[in-house]
Structure 1
Amino acid sequence: MLTAAVVTAALFAAQAPATTINVPDSGQIVAVGAFHPKQLLGEHTFSGGVTSNRRNAIKAYGKPDGKSPAGCPNKWKKLGVRVVTADFGGGPACAGGTPVQQIVITGRSWVTERGLKIGDSLDRARELYPELERFNDLYGKTPLTRYTWALVLEESQIAGPPNVIDRLSAEIRDRKIRSFTVSPYGAGD
């Protein structure tokens, strides 16, 4: 017999709009809108998803309409999405098979599966993600991450201290959510 929570979750998944970020507490990246990237690090094996590469991001989001800081056409301005691609084996950053290391979301139509949106307050983030942690508290103080907060972490013995990988994080400035970042890869994969 299905419980009300299971039925509600199933209905939400069936009706989830194309701008839902679905990264539950397990750390499994279910979907980032139409993109269902398979994560490739961690002790857990999750079924489903496609290889997290530039080609599959383009299949999911359509033709990019802007370039990333590296000069690759990896931005979808209308969606408010940018993918960060890198091949640590030395391959070209703009090739179709290049891994998507991060998906950065700035569009105001995006919402996490718990209901957090761009523009929401830090208090709302703490209400929806009580396990919220500052990157500076997790990884040490650095100017690069002083505004970054981890929303969903995956435990990992590979990542090194503090033995977690951030799967969903948010940039919070002036107590407001400015962007989300989903990380299909971790620890330099």
Structure 2
Amino acid sequence: MTGRRPPPPDQTTRVILEHWREAVPDDRLAHLVRDAARGLTRALQLRLADHGVSFGHWSFLRILWEQDGITQRDLSVRAGLMEPTTHSAILRMEELGYLTRRHPEGNRRKLQIYLTGEGRRLKDVLVPLAEEVNRVAIGAQPAAEIETTRRVLLAMIQNLADDEAEALGQGQRVPSTRSLGRRRGGEAAR
């Protein structure tokens, strides 16, 4: 590291940037993508906080703004989170008045999640914040470079989706954090 003074610890994104530029400029692309996502997330969290909305709730609201009336399981899959995490968020969001849960006609077992008027209203307030973060992140990059980046990232997602489908087809599963915590010596605890 150079003789420059390090940034304050609350400037996480700046610390990450210096790490990439000075310590690991040629590290794996997966790490770079993850750190870019962390920077985007932090920028949005700063803006959401002004409106009392957590990033976790934002993630669920985005999905529900696109399709209201889905089940907790569907919401979990679309958010890429485990159902207990989604359940906790749903309960809190219901307390906050963002959504409600209802049984579909004739089905007392299934619960569907619907936005309330307040949950729908948040879209007009919060989406411009996410658009602002995108503008900040892109900066003055030429449109052609942004389009190339978008195509490459979509191709990466496609390749990873294909890889996951192949693994699932071979019987592999992503274990829960809880089940991993129970493993001893490479075997699951019984």
Instruction: Please classify the TM superposition score into its range, dividing by the shorter chain length.
Output: under 0.3
**Which structure: greater strand fraction?**
1
Which of structures 1 and 2 has the bigger CA Rg? 2
**Which structure: greater helix fraction?**
2
Q: What is the TM-score with the length of structure 1 in the denominator?
A: 0.27
Q: What is the TM-score with the length of structure 2 in the denominator?
A: 0.27
Greater RCO, CA 8 A, separation 6+: 1
